[in-house]
Amino acid sequence: PVPAAVERHLDEFCRRHELAPEPLARVLKACRFLVREASKLDLDRAALATDLAVLVPVEETEEIQAILLAGYDQARALVRREIVRGALLDHGKLLTGVDWRVDAITAASRGAKIAAPVVLLTLSYQEGEARSRITLQATPDLLRELQRVCAQILG
């Protein structure tokens, strides 16, 4: 679906240029389909240009290529990010954010004058369409271990 803001721009464009919205919508839908499918296949600009040369009438090839290739790299990057996010969400919970706070335990029913630092980590995640959060407590030693693990993973 086209976002409402984009739809308003398209309506204004049609009014300004005295165009019927349906033919423009069909053309835009076809262009969007071509760009999305090329992006899904991770085609580079040259491969998309070659495909367009086969699909588009010869007299319009250069103009159509110029229009679709102008924003193709950004569109491909966006589609590829959507693919990765969708693939992750298809198979479980996806970590979407981290918030933290440093506190200190000063006293508890277990003892007095504890003076132990503790970090509260709130992990936001998404599972399908549902969004949720979980807050975990961590000691400085555990955070150092987590830092080592992250460094090892990230190389």
Q: Answer with the one of 32, 55, 88 that is the final residue of a domain.
A: 88
Residue 148, CA distances (Å) to 64, 103, 116, 119, 143 in order: 51, 22, 22, 17, 9
Tokens (6 digits) for 57 = 């009438």
Residues 43, 65 share a domain: yes
* Local confidence pLDDT in tens for the 155 residues of the chain: 778 888 899 899 999 999 998 898 899 999 999 999 999 999 999 999 999 999 988 898 899 999 999 999 999 999 999 999 999 999 999 999 999 999 999 999 999 999 999 999 999 999 988 999 999 999 999 999 999 999 999 99
Tell me the backbone φ, ψ of residue 92, rounded to 5 degrees: 130, -165
Q: What residue numbers bound the domain in which 101 lies?
A: 94-154
* Total domains in the fold of the chain: 2
Residues 84, 35 share a domain: yes
Residues 62, 11 share a domain: yes
Percent composition of the chain: helix, strand, coil (DSSP 3-state, to 5): 60, 25, 20
Q: Is the pTM of this model over 0.75?
A: no
Tokens (6 digits) for 140 = 């400085």
